[in-house]
Amino acid sequence: MRVKNSNFVDYVKVFCRSGRGGAGSAHFLRDKTTCKGGPDGGDGGHGGSIIIRGNKQMWTLLHLRYKKHIFAEHGGIGTGNHSFGKDGKSSYIDVPLGTIGKDAETGEVLFEITEDGEEHVMVKGGMGGRGNAHFKSPTNQSPRYAQPGGDVVEGWFILELKVLADIGLVGFPNAGKSTLLSVVSAAKPQIANYPFTTLVPNLGIVSYRGDKSFIMADIPGIIEGASEGKGLGLRFLRHIERNSTLLFMVPADTDDIAKEYEILLGELQKYNPELLDKDRILAISKSDMLDEELIGFIKEELPTDLPCLFISSVAQQGITELKDLIWKKLNE
Compute, in degrees rounded to 10, the torsion defined by CA atoms 227, 233, 236, 238.
50
pTM of the predicted model as reported, rounded to 2 decimal places:
0.66
Compute, in degrees rounded to 10, the torsion defined by CA atoms 77, 79, 84, 88.
-20
Domain ranges of the chain: 1-161, 167-330
Q: How far is CA 228 from the centre of its chain?
A: 21
CATH topology of domain 1-161: Spo0b-associated Gtp-binding Protein; Chain: A, (2.70.210)
Least Cα distance to 56 among 15, 19, 97, 93 occurs for 97
- Local confidence pLDDT in tens for the 332 residues of the chain: 343 445 667 789 999 999 999 999 998 988 777 777 789 999 999 999 999 999 988 878 888 988 889 999 999 999 988 899 999 999 999 998 889 999 999 999 999 998 999 999 999 999 999 999 899 888 888 898 999 999 999 999 999 888 777 888 888 877 888 888 888 886 565 544 544 444 567 778 888 887 788 888 887 766 555 444 544 445 556 777 778 899 999 999 888 899 999 988 888 888 788 888 889 999 999 998 888 888 888 888 888 889 999 999 889 899 999 999 999 988 87
Please check whether the two domains, 1-161 and 167-330, share a CATH topology: no
**Residue 13 CB partners (closer than 8 Å, separation 6+):** 68, 104, 156, 157, 158, 159
Distance CA 296, CA 258 (A): 14
Q: Tell me which CATH code domain 167-330 carries.
A: 3.40.50.300
Distance CA 136, CA 116 (A): 47
| Amino acid, res. 68 | K
